[in-house]
Amino acid sequence: MKKLSTFQIIFIGVFIFFTVAGVLLFAGVGGLGGKNTKIGAVIIWGTYDNRIMNGILNELSSNDSRFDKVMYVEKDPRSFNKNLVEALASGSGPDIFFLKQDTILRHKDKIFPIPYSLMSKREFKDVFIQEGELLLGKKGIIALPFVIDPMILYWNRDHYSQAGISQPPRFWDELLPLALNGVLTQRGESGAILRSAFSIGEYQNIANAKGLLSMLILQAGGKLVVREEGRPLSPGLLRRLNDGQTPSENALRFYTDFANPAKTIYTWNRSLPEAKQAFVSGILSNYVGFASELTSIREKNANLNFDVAPVPQVRNSGNSVTYGNLVSLAIPKTSKNINGAIQIAFALTRDSVLKEISEKMGLAPVSRLLLSKRPSDPFKVIFNDAALQSRAWLDPQVDKTDAIFKTMIESVVSGRARIGGAVNTANQELGNLLK
């Protein structure tokens, strides 16, 4: 047998080292060691049901006693961010907290980034869905993805059957004929909307209006906030494509046309009930909502004959995009046990745990490996595909951008502003928040 050269021996040794390191990393301990590594006390703050999270932690603890001192505290989502800021300032905050994608910028300076030596950008991209890349910072990983809640289309099967239509729209241009009066839209003699084809066009009575319009902009190839290497964040609503079109203007025009009584596709106004309630009540044919809303829709009307589908896309765009609410696990700089918190964060983002949390919450996992396996549940097939297509943007201040979107939409619907002017104003205000 031919002897190995010195170079070959060194090469094989290095290969084995990195292979073992990779196994340790994806075993969920972030490359920080095995069962001999101490974890200690770790407090987690989140907004999910205590029973779900404690069930997962108890299972981890039963297999490894080092998890015995890990405690989960359920917080009210309405006051979560306020309470978190106050607790971190007083030094009484958690060691891990739930971070939504629209609060990344708000809390970024309070977070201890996980070093890329524990998980590289390449490894992160291979493991987690694309929306998670919002968490890749200059100095490390801002947080580890935990749960994704994508936007999907809920559609009323009875309305479609009555109209002789077999499937919901796959592309937005297919919605136009469905919105015509006498098809899915039904208007009375006075012009009042008795039944709507689609909840789109207004802000006030569409709880998901901001997410829906954001999705339309992203689908059209636009950006809301531009993130470029070595440059500060900047507003992107005025950015044009190579063909000269402005995606945000096209998206806003399309969105608001459905609330314009002068248009043949007029199908929504602010006198109608809130969109989700309208769908549950049977006076709305299509509702764009989050996957997490499935249970509440079923509970509010057990007799509603509905199904789910992917949200419509822009025809010939070459890309499929939906909007997703991403919850991740972040570690504050004020944690008294950063090493333990990192180990717990990695442990909670193992595929075995991510599978359990997605099943208990009825949502899709954030793991690419788990998403590669097709579920038997027809609803989860749609959720999983939507998880891979989920995108979002770095929101500088949720409450204020809510107001920006509200003004942008309502100024056009009311006729106070033209499309270009509304987008320009929104872009300026967004830019001010990013300074």
Which pLDDT band holds residue 27 (cuts at 50, 70, 90)? Answer: very low
- Is 253:423 a contact under the CB 8 Å cutoff? no
Which pLDDT band holds residue 80 (cuts at 50, 70, 90)? Answer: very high
Domains identified in the chain and CATH numbers: 6-148+325-391 (3.40.190.10), 150-324+394-434 (3.40.190.10)
pTM over 0.85: yes
Q: Give rounded-to-5 percent helix, strand, coil for the chain.
A: 45, 15, 40
- Is 120:365 a contact under the CB 8 Å cutoff? no
Q: What is the mean pLDDT of residues 294-298?
A: 98
% the chain with pLDDT above 70:
92
Look at residue 189 in the predicted model and tell me its pLDDT: 92
Q: What is the mean pLDDT of residues 59-77?
A: 93
Look at residue 20 in the predicted model and tell me its pLDDT: 38
| Residue whose entry in the numeric block shows the structure tokens 């270009």 | 420
Q: Judging by beta carbons within 10 Å of its beta carbon (0-12, 13-18, 19+), is residue 198 exposed, middle or buried?
A: buried
Look at residue 149 in the predicted model and tell me its pLDDT: 98
Distance (Å, whole) CA 244 – CA 143 = 37
Look at residue 22 in the predicted model and tell me its pLDDT: 43
User: Is the pLDDT reported for residue 16 higher than 50?
Assistant: no
Look at residue 229 in the predicted model and tell me its pLDDT: 87
Among residues 226, 246, 80, 216, which one has the least CA distance to residue 151? 216
Quick: pLDDT tens for 353-393: 999 999 999 999 999 999 999 999 999 999 999 999 999 99
CA angle 36–38–40, rounded 5-degree value: 155
Look at residue 244 in the predicted model and tell me its pLDDT: 87
- Sorted by sequence, the CB contacts under 8 Å of residue 317 that are 6+ apart come out as 219, 220, 221
Quick: pLDDT tens for 135-149: 999 999 999 999 999
User: Is the pLDDT reported for residue 212 higher than 50?
Assistant: yes
User: Is the pLDDT reported for residue 216 higher than 80?
Assistant: yes
User: Is the pLDDT reported for residue 32 higher than 50?
Assistant: no
User: Is the pLDDT reported for residue 25 higher than 50?
Assistant: no
Which pLDDT band holds residue 230 (cuts at 50, 70, 90)? Answer: confident
Which pLDDT band holds residue 36 (cuts at 50, 70, 90)? Answer: low
Which pLDDT band holds residue 12 (cuts at 50, 70, 90)? Answer: very low
Q: What is the mean pLDDT of residues 208-230?
A: 97
User: Is the pLDDT reported for residue 261 higher than 80?
Assistant: yes
For all residues of the chain together, what is the average pLDDT?
93
User: Is the pLDDT reported for residue 160 higher than 50?
Assistant: yes
Look at residue 357 and give its three-state secondary structure. helix
Quick: pLDDT tens for 310-354: 999 999 998 999 999 999 999 999 999 999 999 999 999 999 999
Which pLDDT band holds residue 34 (cuts at 50, 70, 90)? Answer: low
Please report the beta strands in 111-232, taking only residues with DSSP state E, as ranges in sequence order: 144-156, 186-187, 193-198, 225-226
CA angle 385–396–384, rounded 5-degree value: 10
